[in-house]
Structure 1
Amino acid sequence: MVDDGEWDRRSLLRGAVVAGAAATAPLLGGAATAQAGGGDADALFKAGKFEQAGRAYEEILKKDPKNVHAARRRGYVGLLANQFRDAEKYLTMALRLAPGDKTANQFLGDCYTRQDKFSLAVPCWRAAGEEVYAEWFAAVRGEPYQIHGDIGRMPWRQMDPMPLVEASVNGGPPKRFSFYTRVPWLGMSSKVAEEAGLRPVASQKIEYGGRTVWQYFGVLGSFRLGGIELRNIPVEWSESDTDAPDGPNDGIIGTWVLYHFLTTFDYAGRSLILRRRTPETAGKARADAERAGAEPLPLWLAREHLLHSRGSIAGSGAQVVALDLGGTSEMVASMPGETAKRLRVRTDYDRPLEAFAGGQPVVSHPCYPKEVRLGNATAKDVYCYANNRPPGSPYGFDVLAHFAHSFYKPYNVTLDFTDMNVYIARGKAT
């Protein structure tokens, strides 16, 4: 843990090992601890009332302009909503007050990385003690994530146990890639990396799932998804391949790729749609959603890649929930066991499920909430998990539940990373 109660970056790296198959980031417990001068602002932030919290931190800074915690947290509020100008302003303020603040450096490194300003991000990652990120991004020469083409529409080759699409690596034959918003980078198997002629620019040894694994990081020349080609992309691979349940899986597409586009996960139509992020495409997405009766929901991006919005479980009222799109899961949602008890969700304690999440052991029990809701999208009396993770979140704010793969099957979900909205509508995307 670091000084703002946030989780260590190495936990993220352990949790996002891909090795050619879907992976998850860790769900470690522990909410952020209020520092001096936080008060009600911290309580608002913890409750997911981010705009109100932001204003409260600004009031603190008017009275106490040297309050590092308030400056850092106000910057984090901006970063959650991709409000980069605010994020840079307040995180820079925090670093002027405390140049050695690792958390502020991590946040500012993430802020610059999201904008593809790698040359500015590198010294922040290095100051945060994240040498792997610093070496990796420093090795990317020129403009990263260069987009060629306007739209990529990839039919899914399968729905379960995880959606798969085809993509070309460095102009080679089609490979099978899954996608998952609990993974940051574009990852691939060591075999695909070797075939593509990749060479590591950074590496590290980590413990994952009870074994030691080497992770490698490099830069890929070309990645084609339907009518879209990405060039100059940071990529990850590991030394050992992992087979998906139905056979070999060549890699995984994470949030860093997806947030460069107006991205639609068309579960009902079984396709992944990537469109350039322009005012026109964003306007069309909003209009299509309104015609389909879908209200715009807020979209927040925590740490480098973890998506959140507002939803409810069993009449809880709207609270912050995690959006885990893609990946593999037969469940509709997961929640801490204590949350299931508090909401009186029927839980089957006779049938424990022992597994790993983010490389960490977790025990879950089947549970069946009366309703799971995200905007106008609902699922009733469905199969979910209640796990032994404590309530709260490692990101400083409470997360009610994680909405998983099976929840989205009747719907199409569009992520607008410019206006930071989520649209979820029943049926196929138009």
Structure 2
Amino acid sequence: MTPRTDDLDLPGRRAFLRRTGLTLAAGAALPLLAAAPGVAAASATPDQLFKEGRLAAAERGYLSLLRRDPRDAHVLGRLGYLALLSNRFGDAEKHLSKAVALHPGDVASTQRLAECFVRQDQFARAAPLLRGIDRPRDQALAELCAHISGTPWQIHGAQSTQVPFVTLDPVPAVEASLNGGPAGTFWLDTYATLDLSLEVAEAAGLRAVASHSGGVANNQPITLWLGVLDSFKIGNIEIRNLPVQWSDAKRPSLPDGTAAAGAFGTTIFYHFLTTMNYAGRALLLRRKTRPAPRTPVVDRLPLWLAGDHYPCTLGSLGDYGPRMVTVDTGGIASGIDTTVEIAERAGGITVDYDHPIEQAGHKIYRLTAERISLGRAVGRDVPGHAVDTLHPGYPGPGQSAMFGFDLIANFTHEFFKPFAITFDYTDMRLSITRG
């Protein structure tokens, strides 16, 4: 629930949609990969395995270390981090609580423990943890958590709802309404929480309980205001008493030239069994108690959640992989983001070096990938972008340092068009079907 502070105004992509969401635990992502090429598990330390992405082996290594020293705060923190990524809340709380008790100055474990409570809608338990962190972002989030009284995230209405996309491009958008008012159009973006325009927030009568500088959009600093929304209605489902943010960021217009009301994504999605049906041009939300429809599945992949709104899974660039990738549905005119170094290593990717685009001191190149895949879901001749170096504001590989494990790419909008993708944050699976 903290905003990213390093947005790039990238060509062919929306700046505000990428990482203007809130995340309590910056860099809280650890994959449980069983294997990664070229590393001998017998000789690698758990920390090396952790960074390489061999996290099943890393977890076994950390558990072995914990048996030798049950008071190792670093090991406890890592085990809690692993559990949080997979929404194993009991294990996450147990290990992170011990890590913080042994080392009260461990800001990362404190943030992750707070995030563990936020994901379970236990805001009152998160607030005191965040108040103990001397950072403006965490202090603002503590105020937000403290102001969410009663039962948060109350879901009313139908057992499921399907709403059509208002548009598929530049990214999908649907209609939703705030506090019983008229419907507005919201971008769908897995890299978003629930983010409103300043004008829409004011029209809905929202009151800010906290604010802070929230980073950069279109190379301009922005302010984020945090508050509590009474009602958010999507189709036949209404969500009551939920956190919301709004900002003064300049946003891209809808195809008809009108302004979007905002964007929403993973923090809404993980309260449901959510399907973004690109091919069928619709968003489907089902209560978690409702079984998924019987649809032929192209593939079913592991799903991990970094922070509160960065989905991760396994992907390949040609024959390079499977390795950890992020899933960001909000990339305009792009299906893949990576780095020049990874593109060259993977092969089968044509990078347009003759027409570099200068952005924030970095060079960004357009590319075409012959073949990329999420399991058996394959995209061919996929357009995208490569950045010259690892930059923390760039999706996918640029977030490796923030998340603590190596990423090879970000899979985004153009790749998903032939498919329907379902996010299951209970069983932690990403299912891909033909729409």
TM norm structure 1: 0.87
Q: What corresponds to 2:271 in structure 1?
A: 260
Q: Is residue 341 from structure 1 mapped to residue 380 from structure 2 by the alignment?
A: no
Question: How far did residue 304 of structure 1 move?
Answer: 1.7
- Contact in 2 for aligned 1:202/1:218 (Cα 8 Å): yes
Which of 301, 304, 309 is 2:305 aligned to? Answer: 301
Q: Structure 2: how far apart are the matches of 1:189 and 1:197?
A: 13
Q: Distance in 2 between matches of 1:304 and 1:293?
A: 26
Deviation at 1:366, TM superposition (A): 1.8
Question: How many residue pairs align between the two structures?
Answer: 397
What does residue 18 of structure 2 align with?
24
Cα deviation for residue 24 of structure 1 reads: 1.0
Mapped to 2, the partners of 1:361 and 1:161 lie a distance apart of 26
Aligned-pair CA distance for 1:302: 0.7
Q: 1:21·1:249 contact (CA, 8 Å) conserved in 2?
A: no
- Report the CA distance between 1:179 and its aligned residue: 1.6
Q: What does residue 35 of structure 2 align with? A: none
| Alignment-mate amino acid for residue 65 of structure 2 | I
| 2:13 matches 1:12 | no
CA apart distance, 1:213: 2.4
For residues 404 and 101 of structure 2, the distance between their equivalents in structure 1, rounded to whole angstroms, comes to 23
Which residue in the other structure is 2:105 paired with? Answer: 100
Q: 2:125 aligns with which of 102, 110, 120?
A: 120
Q: For residues 239 and 334 of structure 1, what CA distance do their matches in structure 2 show?
A: 27
Q: 1:86 aligns with which of 88, 91, 94?
A: 91
Deviation at 1:135, TM superposition (A): 0.5
Residue matched to 2:36 = none
| 4+ runs deviating over 6 angstroms | none
Asked whether 1:160 is paired with 2:163, we answer no
Q: Which runs of 5+ in 2 are unaligned?
A: 21-25, 31-42, 391-396
- Give distance in 2, aligned partners of 1:10 and 1:22: 14
Q: Do the aligned residues in 1 keep the contact of 2:153 with 2:239 (CA within 8 Å)?
A: yes
Judge conservation of contact 1:321–1:401 (CA < 8 Å) in 2.
Answer: yes
What is the rounded CA distance, in whole Å, between the counterparts of 1:66 and 1:374 in structure 2? 39
Q: Using the TM superposition, give the Cα deviation of residue 393 of structure 1 relative to its aligned residue in structure 2, in angstroms.
A: 3.8
- Per-residue CA deviation, residues 140-183 of structure 1 (Å, 9 max, x unaligned), is 11111110121121100111112110001110111010121112
Q: Which stretch shows the higher mean deviation, 78-87 or 38-47?
A: 38-47
CA distance in 1 between partners of 2:152 and 2:132 (Å): 22
Q: Which one of the candidate residues 171, 175, 185 is aligned to 2:184? A: 175
Structure 1 range deviating more: 238-247 or 307-316: 238-247
Q: What is aligned with 2:418?
A: 410
**1:62-114, Cα deviation, whole Å (9 max, x unpaired):** 11222221111110000010010111111011012102211111000110000
| Residue correspondence of structure 1 range 198-213 to structure 2 within 5 A | 198-208=206-216, 209-213=218-222
Matches of 2:355 and 2:237, distance apart in 1: 45
1:9-408 map, 5 Å: 12=4, 15=7, 22-25=16-19, 40-129=45-134, 130-149=138-157, 150-183=159-192, 185-208=193-216, 209-239=218-248, 241-244=250-253, 246=255, 247=257, 248-278=259-289, 280-281=290-291, 284-285=292-293, 287-288=294-295, 292-325=296-329, 327-344=330-347, 345-355=349-359, 362-390=362-390, 391=397, 392-408=400-416
Query: How far did 1:233 drift?
Result: 1.1
Contact residue 101 and residue 128 of structure 1 kept, 8 A: no
Once the two structures are TM-superposed, the CA of residue 205 in structure 1 deviates from its matched residue by: 2.8
CA shift at 1:22, angstroms?
4.4
Contact 1:16 1:23 in 2 (8 A): no
State the SS of the aligned residue for 1:233.
strand
For residues 151 and 426 of structure 1, the distance between their equivalents in structure 2, rounded to whole angstroms, comes to 20
Q: Check 1:13–1:154 CA distance in 2 against 1; reply closer, same or farther (3 A cut).
A: farther
Aligned-pair identity (%): 39
- Superposed displacement of residue 206, structure 1: 4.2
**Partner of 2:40 in structure 1?**
none
Q: RMSD value over aligned CA atoms?
A: 2.5
User: Within 2, Cα distance between the matches of 1:363 and 1:152?
Assistant: 43
**Alpha-carbon offset, residue 21 of structure 1:** 8.3
Structure 1: give runs of 5+ residues left out of the alignment. 1-8, 33-37
Alignment-derived partner of residue 3 in structure 1:
none
Write out per-residue CA displacement over residues 279-325 of structure 1, whole angstroms, 9 at most, x where no aligned residue: x42xx35x43xxx1433210000112100001100211211111112
Deviations 1:338-392 (A, max 9, x none): 101112332110122345xxxx665321222221000111012322211123254
Distance in 2, Cα, partners of 1:314 & 1:107: 34
CA contact (8 A) 2:276 2:421 kept: yes
Q: Does the CA-based 8 Å contact 2:423-2:430 persist in structure 1?
A: yes
Tell me if structure 2 keeps the 8 A contact 1:21–1:244. no
**TM-aligned CA deviation for residue 49 of structure 1:** 2.3
Contact 2:382 2:414 survives alignment (8 Å): no
- Tell me the SS of whatever aligns to 1:171: coil
C-alpha distance after superposition, 1:42-62 (max 9, x if no partner)? 122112222222121111111
Equivalent position amino acid for 1:92 in 2: S
What amino acid sits opposite 1:402 in the alignment? N
Cα 1:264/1:206, change in 2 over 3 Å: closer
